[in-house]
Structure 1
Amino acid sequence: MNDKNNNANGQGVMPPSTLYLWRLRTLYVGYLERRITFSAGAHTFLLGLEDDVLLEVNGETFRARTLLLPAGISFSADSQGKQIGCCFLDPLGRDYLFHQRLMQRHESGFYSVSALQDKQLSVLTQAYRDSLEADQVYALLADLLFPAADTTVAGFMPDARIARIIELIRSDPAQNYSNEDLARHVGLSGARLQRVFKEATGIPIRRYRLWHRLFVTSTMMSMGSSLTDAALTAGFSDSSHLSHVFQSMLGMPPSAMLSHSRQNRVLVGAGEPGE
């Protein structure tokens, strides 16, 4: 352990990194040992808790304490060995729209420097330092990273058809619904559904299905399942398939986030009532 990573509590013990899982959102707080490179499977909010995050998009490098990246964008991020927060936002885009009006847009399609970043960084630093539980963190992040349920987000127009498709995928993650099967549930053609779904979420249906399977796998492992059992239950063909998808979507192997040790925790929370 490096001295710079020692906890300020005087005991020289670094708090564990934590992966928080809620129904619509996922948050990682702690340290990443390597640069992460991937194509985001969800709208992503990055926060450098101690220093800037170095972001590379389309061959250009940027740096900021807070960064908002749309689903589907390919990027590389380096926390410079410092504490980081990485939050995957809700699939329908309410969170993303909430943050857009608070941040500066770049030509490469991402946003930086949130008007709320001082408060955001303070809460996530507290969550890491004090090893807070999932429901505590969720409550503290209301209207900072997640607009509260009663908060009106200007311009947000939920699409009930896409919400229905997402619910179907969640209800049975191992089920490989065809595009035509899903389209019939909401009265659209297969081609029209593909277009509408990507417009609403930023990613294709198949990619969202894989993204949700990662969530299911992580949740099951937090409850004690083995990697292989969790992968099969979530709909992956085997643990190798899971590892490949995890690496491509999150830029790291599953062990980096999901291993149970003194350095890592995986916690499941309730989220908003009714979600």
Structure 2
Amino acid sequence: MSASLLYLADRRALFMGTPLTIRRHVLPVSRMILCLEGELRYQPFGEGPLIPCSSLLLPVGLPVTVDSSEALIADCYLDVCGFDYAVLRQQARRCEHAIYCDLRDEQPLREMLNAARLQLAPAAALWPQLEALLNPADLVASAEHYSDPRVEQVVARIKRTARDNLSVDELAAGVGLSGSRLLSLFKQQAGIPIRRYRLWRRLHYATCLLAEGCSLTEAAMGSGFSDSSHFSRTFSDMLGFQPSALTRSHCELKILVNPANGGESAAISTPPELAASSFKCDAHGRG
């Protein structure tokens, strides 16, 4: 079986492979989960029977359990401002418990992602093709979505300064708002508290440090956590498994960071042996 892959970019993150052991957790950003092989099931709010599906679109902040057993999945963490989510939900064949299921045009996406996984596609090749399939022009034009430009500016600043852990008042002052007004506006727009999003971006940066070969302690301290225990608790709370799972010698997980990333991750590039590989996909998403 191919190694699992974790792609990190400025707007999104993408995991492909057999998931690590996952417990019930609350989503830090909205997610699209696509079954590549096997069976995908979910349990809304962590209660009731497991419901089968071929793909899921999960809103931010929803407590959910996803059971993929031994399946291969593509798990895409979408942009925090909600544009991807607004576009993709138009494709859902059904909606249950605020969860959109079974996207209409998922097959081209499945074929492209499977080709990327099998060919170990470099990050710079994968993201443009994924962008085109997540946000086709016709659905972009009809998407009902508004993002306050002040929130977008704050998100961009948090990305640039993830390890600095700027205060809410500092972030608010940069866009001419009070701290309390920014707290309210960010929650309204993004669906999560700003403090939780700041933690998410620090986890993103810490994972980039792990990709560079840093230890858990070095990644924790380098991304602004007080210690490795705080980092591990936050990681587990948001993602459902311990970060130590990413560093175990038997864990076949490759982390690929987009060399075009802005902000704190800009210095981390795709490993040379991956950058040299090619990733080809035809108009129908086939490799």
Q: Report the TM-score when normalising by structure 1.
A: 0.86
Give the Cα–Cα distance (whole angstroms) in 1 for the partners of residues 220 and 107 of structure 2. Answer: 38
C-alpha deviation, 1:216, in angstroms: 0.1
Aligned to 2:71: 82
Q: 1:38 aligns with which of 25, 30, 55?
A: 25
Give the Cα–Cα distance (whole angstroms) in 2 for the partners of residues 257 and 32 of structure 1. Answer: 12
Query: Whose helix fraction is larger, Structure 1's or Structure 2's?
Result: 2
C-alpha deviation, 1:273, in angstroms: 9.6
- Would you say the 8 A contact 1:55–1:76 is kept in 2? yes
- Which whole-Å deviations, capped at 9, do the CAs of 1:199-250 have from their partners, x for residues lacking one? 2111100000000011001111112222211111111111111111111101
Q: SS of the counterpart of 2:133? A: coil
- Would you say the 8 A contact 1:138–1:271 is kept in 2? no
C-alpha deviation, 1:119, in angstroms: 1.2
Q: 1:139 aligns with which of 104, 109, 128?
A: 128
Flag the 1:204–1:152 CA change in 2: closer, same or farther, 3 A: same
Q: Does 1:222 align with 2:211?
A: yes
Which stretches of structure 1, 4 residues or longer, exceed 6 Å deviation after superposition?
A: 272-275
Give the Cα–Cα distance (whole angstroms) in 1 for the partners of residues 204 and 127 of structure 2. Answer: 17
Flag the 1:82–1:136 CA change in 2: closer, same or farther, 3 A: same
- Pairwise mapping of residues 21-60 of structure 1 onto structure 2 (< 5 A)? 21-58=8-45, 59-60=47-48
Structure 1 residue identity aligned to 2:28: G
Aligned to 1:269: 258
Flag the 1:193–1:260 CA change in 2: closer, same or farther, 3 A: farther
Stretches of structure 2 that go unaligned for 5 or more consecutive residues are: 267-287
Aligned to 1:8: none
- Which whole-Å deviations, capped at 9, do the CAs of 1:3-59 have from their partners, x for residues lacking one? xxxxxxxxxxx2110100111100000112424421011111111111331111131
Structure 2 residue identity aligned to 1:75: V
- Would you say the 8 A contact 2:13–2:77 is kept in 1? yes
Flag the 1:153–1:36 CA change in 2: closer, same or farther, 3 A: farther
- Would you say the 8 A contact 1:37–1:250 is kept in 2? no
Give the Cα–Cα distance (whole angstroms) in 1 for the partners of residues 251 and 206 of structure 2. Answer: 20
Q: Report the TM-score when normalising by structure 2.
A: 0.83
Stretches of structure 1 that go unaligned for 5 or more consecutive residues are: 1-13
Give the Cα–Cα distance (whole angstroms) in 1 for the partners of residues 142 and 124 of structure 2. Answer: 23
Q: 2:195 aligns with which of 193, 202, 206?
A: 206
Flag the 1:198–1:258 CA change in 2: closer, same or farther, 3 A: farther
Flag the 1:46–1:271 CA change in 2: closer, same or farther, 3 A: farther
Structure 1 residue identity aligned to 2:231: L
Moved more, 24-33 or 132-141: 132-141
Aligned to 1:176: 165
Q: Does 1:240 align with 2:215?
A: no
Give the Cα–Cα distance (whole angstroms) in 2 for the partners of residues 252 and 272 of structure 1. Answer: 25
Flag the 1:84–1:104 CA change in 2: closer, same or farther, 3 A: same
Q: Does 1:157 align with 2:153?
A: no
Moved more, 62-71 or 253-262: 253-262
Flag the 1:124–1:258 CA change in 2: closer, same or farther, 3 A: farther
Q: SS of the counterpart of 1:144? A: helix
- Would you say the 8 A contact 2:90–2:143 is kept in 1? no
Q: Does 1:68 align with 2:57?
A: yes
Give the Cα–Cα distance (whole angstroms) in 1 for the partners of residues 169 and 84 of structure 2. Answer: 29
- Would you say the 8 A contact 1:105–1:111 is kept in 2? yes
CA RMSD of aligned residues (A): 2.4
Structure 2 residue identity aligned to 1:19: L
C-alpha deviation, 1:105, in angstroms: 4.8
Q: SS of the counterpart of 1:90? A: coil
Structure 1 residue identity aligned to 2:14: L
- Would you say the 8 A contact 1:33–1:81 is kept in 2? no
